[in-house]
């Protein structure tokens, strides 16, 4: 039964070397799949019409994990999304995430998938890196976190990890959320934020030691932090920021209690678009696309503060 499935994660010490999972995360779906390329021989042999010679080529694991966004137990994920983290306080703890190096940061991600008999088969993804992540919220829904994963190996021989979940889990609902632009609250119907870490994956080389596995993905360009939200068309204030190329502070907050908060602060430019009339039966809506920018520091472009009862992210 699918409800017997589980995902458990752990920080790796050495890239691609399995570490037994210590933290279980609730998830709504996953699509992590193993891909093994096959090298077909092109040799011509007289009298043969079907070639049978082949060799195994490179391998990788790719796919997504989607979960309801919760303040508890997600610090380890934000660390692998952002790279930089500093923790202060004590019960609750404040974890501040900023863009930092992702080199040397990887996870072992174990997915437990049940046979029809009920036995759960572990699929362990080694060298897992978060290539991109999306936080999304809609009216009358739980907020979600979707992570794109790249791993360099799949191991089905490890023992099934014990799924240990946070004692109290309070995923954020839309009623926990709020958004402000330039210090003024904005009523929005939906919100999405995407972080693309610009990782160079599939770093395969001619070598005799595990040649089919990729070396650790490395950063290969500027990170792209983009998003959008939809609101009613109430004035020209938001539209003029797009037309005039004005930057502004954008703050997304989820608050489910003193020890269950997430605040994402960005400095953004707005990339449009013009509000249009699409129906006589609805109000004119305004979609604002944005991109995080800063002339001073990466942290000024985007910083996430997670407050929870976890002593370590």
Range of the domain at 240: 2-42+54-308
What pLDDT score does 38 carry? 96
Domain-located, residue 140: yes
Task: Give the SS3 label for residue 175.
Answer: helix
Token couple for 273: 């678009």
pLDDT at position 1, please? 67
DSSP-derived 3-state class of residue 142? strand
pLDDT, one tens digit for every residue, the chain (313 residues): 678 899 999 999 999 999 999 899 999 999 999 999 999 999 999 999 998 999 999 999 999 999 999 999 999 999 999 999 999 999 899 999 999 999 999 999 999 999 999 999 999 999 999 999 999 999 999 999 999 999 999 999 999 999 999 989 999 999 999 999 999 999 999 999 999 999 999 999 999 989 999 999 999 999 999 999 999 999 999 999 999 999 999 999 999 999 999 999 999 999 978 999 988 888 999 999 999 999 999 999 999 999 999 999 9
Spatial contact of 188 and 230, defined as CB atoms under 8 Å apart: yes
By the 10 Å C-beta count (0-12 exposed, 13-18 middle, 19+ buried), 269 is classed as middle
Burial class of residue 280 (count of CB atoms within 10 Å of its CB; 0-12, 13-18, 19+): exposed
* Domain annotation covers residue 154: yes
Is beta strand 144-151 parallel, antiparallel or unpaired with respect to 54-68? Answer: antiparallel
CB 12 within 8 Å of CB 127: yes
Backbone angles phi, psi at 74, to 5 degrees: -100, -5
**49 located within any domain:** no
Residue 162, helix vs strand vs coil: coil
Is 25 a member of any domain?
Answer: yes
Measured CA to CA, the distance from residue 13 to residue 16 in angstroms comes to: 9
CA distance 294 to 20: 39
233 in any annotated domain? yes
Residue 304 covered by a domain: yes
Number of domains forming the structure of the chain = 1
CB 175 within 8 A of CB 154: no
Q: Which residues contact 243 (CB under 8 A, 6 or more apart)?
A: none
Closest to 289 in 3D by CA, of 197, 165, 194, 198: 194
- Residue 244, SS3 per DSSP: helix
Backbone angles phi and psi of 152, in degrees to 5? -100, 0
Contact 285, 238 (CB under 8 A): no
39 and 56 Cβ atoms separated by less than 8 Å? yes
Whether residue 210 lies inside any domain: the answer is yes
What are the φ/ψ torsions at residue 237 (nearest 5 degrees)?
-55, -55
pTM of the full structure: 0.95
* Assigned token pair, 286: 């305004």
Q: What is the pLDDT of residue 272?
A: 78
Examine residue 160 and state whether it is found in any structural domain, yes or no: yes
């Amino acid at each position: 039964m699918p409800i017997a499935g589980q995902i458990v994660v752990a920080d790796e010490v050495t890239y691609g070397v399995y570490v037994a999972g210590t933290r279980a995360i609730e998830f709504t779906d996953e699509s992590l799949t193993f891909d093994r390329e096959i090298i077909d021989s092109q040799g011509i042999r007289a009298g043969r019409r079907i070639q049978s010679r082949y060799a195994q080529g490179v391998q990788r694991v790719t796919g997504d994990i989607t979960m309801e966004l919760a303040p508890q137990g997600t610090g380890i994920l934000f660390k692998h999304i952002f790279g930089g983290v500093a923790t202060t306080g004590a019960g609750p703890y404040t974890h501040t995430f900023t863009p930092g190096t992702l080199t040397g940061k990887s996870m072992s991600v174990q997915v437990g998938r049940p046979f029809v008999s009920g036995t759960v088969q572990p699929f362990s993804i080694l060298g897992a890196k978060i290539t991109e992540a999306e936080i999304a919220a809609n009216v009358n829904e739980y907020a979600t976190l979707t992570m794109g994963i790249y791993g360099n190996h799949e191991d089905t021989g490890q023992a099934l990890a014990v799924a240990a979940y946070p004692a109290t889990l309070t995923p954020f609902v839309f009623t926990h959320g709020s958004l402000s632009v330039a210090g003024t609250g904005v009523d929005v119907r939906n919100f999405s934020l995407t972080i693309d870490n610009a990782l160079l994956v599939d770093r395969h080389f001619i070598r005799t030691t595990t040649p089919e596995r990729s070396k650790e993905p490395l950063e290969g360009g500027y990170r792209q932090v983009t998003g959008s939200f939809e609101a009613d068309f109430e004035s020209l204030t938001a539209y003029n920021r797009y037309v005039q190329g004005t930057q502004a502070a954008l703050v997304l907050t989820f608050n489910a209690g003193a020890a269950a908060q997430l605040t994402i602060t960005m400095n953004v430019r707005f990339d449009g678009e013009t509000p249009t009339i699409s129906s006589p039966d609805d109000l004119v809506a305004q979609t604002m696309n944005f991109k995080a920018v800063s002339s001073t520091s990466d942290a000024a472009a985007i910083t996430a503060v997670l407050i929870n009862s976890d002593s370590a992210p």
